Copies of this chain bind each other. A is one copy, B any other.
Amino acid sequence: MLTLDDDDGPLYLRLYRRLRGLILDGSWETGTKLPSSRTLSEELGVSRNTALHALEMLIADGLVQARQGSAIYVTAAAPKPTDLDRHPSLSRHRKPVPFEVGWHTAEFFPLDKWDRLQSKIPAEARSASLYGSGPGGWPELRQAIASYAGAARGLSVSADQVVIVSNTQSALDLVIRLLAEPNDEIWMEDPGYPIAQDLLRLNQLTLVPVPVDGEGLNVQSGSRQAPAARFAYVTPACQFPTGRVMSAGRRAEILDWASANRAWVIEDDWEWHAHFGKGGAPRPLASLPGGERVLFLQTFNRTIFPALRIAFLIAPPDLAIKLAELSHRIAGEPSVPTQAALAEFLERGLYAAHLRATRAAYAERRSVLLNELRSLPPGFEPHADRAGLHLVIGTPSGVDDSELAADLRSKGIECSGISEFSTGNACERGLILGFAAFTPQQILKPARRLVRHLQALYPHGRR
């Protein structure tokens, strides 16, 4: 019987370390079949998602391999610990394979222009940028973001409401450290974004899973479950992972709730740029009446390149000062020369041009994928109307999307099930396929394999 140490850290890491230990110390020899994610989940009382995550990390380490359906076997018989210890911690990000979720590409980024931007920054500012910025970030970047947020997202804010941080996690971390007490309740979209959830748990918040439906987070359900929650975390521009856009009605409801309860709505402007239909993403909550209860987060790490490490947070002026001060006291601002370059990138219109170019490329990749999916078995429905850098395929009722995704992964087709991101039970089912990081050429073959597999599994469909 497997047990988990009373160790710290999130469950999936504890499970991963435990399993890795059993392989490295030779308890499980080469060829040993690992317990399935279902067994691990039942024996240890962890979620399927947690078990899958831990198993995937072992696969990434090369310690185990998926064979025959979803069965996973030990491949490495206690290799030298020194080599292995090095592996998980001393690595670049591996390249994603189709259709892994959460990746985008930097191949369209005009790196040559970017490199030349430093030389276009006035010498005095360049030299000043070496010495750092005050709290909140480099003034020129805060100003450029305020202008851009106005033009692109209809947000009317001044530069001192903009706080520059490294990524949306660090923004969330600041907000929680400034405003929350341990065990404060926060509404979380269910299904929802696991990285944000992990960070909120790390900060000892109580997560209240609120179901997402066709209109986004169900505010009435949240109000019933936890009317006095202090926070709500939402992705209204493009809900992760369903790709739904929050309806106008729900937008008004959540702002009314926040205003009546003096709660804070944390609006993660996730994939606002990945709307492929007409009109783009609707205006953010932060720009609507009642928006003074909204803390708005947006990242450049998913539109420029992941390692840039610049995101921003927009807050009411008094709170923005406090968040900027707190950030300054802890990690400080991100690399200032990089901030200065980004300010130039925005001001010269290079960012807008880059977004247009990537959106066109992503739209092509998406339509190549959609085209290959025309012959899915009945009951499998690609939702071309949704937003985001992954495509959602609705699965027939009665099909367990997480099991199906695990099965496909074991056959070398990377994808995820929506319910893998759910902590509750009632959640839309479907497969999600990331497409943004793969060329049309890279998409074609695995898309065809996916269709063939599903056709073989469900020859007459399943409705």
Contact = CB atoms under 8 A, between A and B. Distances in A.
Interface of A: 8-10, 13, 85-86, 88-93, 106, 109, 111, 115, 118-119, 126-136, 138-139, 142-143, 158-160, 165-167, 169-170, 173, 178, 195, 198-199, 202, 305-310, 317, 320-322, 324-326, 329-338
A85 B160 contact: yes
14 contacts: A9-B326, A85-B317, A88-B321, A92-B139, A115-B118, A130-B307, A130-B308, A173-B331, A199-B330, A307-B336, A308-B337, A334-B335, A337-B338, A338-B338
Given A8-B178, A92-B128, A332-B170, A86 B158 contact: yes
A199 B329 contact: yes
B159 A86 contact: yes
A24 to B, nearest CB: 13
Contact of A91 (B93, B139, B309, B329): B139
A198 B111 CA distance: 39
A162 to B, nearest CB: 9
Nearest to A129: B307
Contacts of A126: 111
Contacts of A119: 115
Nearest to A308: B335
Contact of A89 (B8, B130, B160): B160
A338 B109 CA distance: 17
Nearest to A332: B167
Number of copies: 2
A111 B88 CA distance: 34
A332 B91 CA distance: 14
A88 B134 contact: yes
Given A89-B320, A90-B134, A330 B202 contact: yes
A109 B130 contact: yes
A202 B132 CA distance: 23
Nearest to A109: B130
Contact of A170 (B118, B139, B331): B331
Contact of A329 (B134, B158, B202): B202
A133 B335 contact: no
A133 B306 CA distance: 10
A325 B199 CA distance: 12
A222 B436 CA distance: 57
B92 A133 contact: yes
A81 B355 CA distance: 36
B170 A329 contact: no
A127 B336 CA distance: 21
Contacts of A335: 307-310, 334-335, 338
A328 to B, nearest CB: 9
Contacts of A138: 92
A132 B332 contact: no
Given A106-B130, A167-B331, 17 more contacts: A9-B325, A85-B160, A88-B135, A88-B321, A89-B321, A92-B129, A92-B131, A92-B132, A106-B127, A111-B126, A130-B308, A132-B307, A169-B330, A173-B331, A307-B336, A309-B333, A310-B335
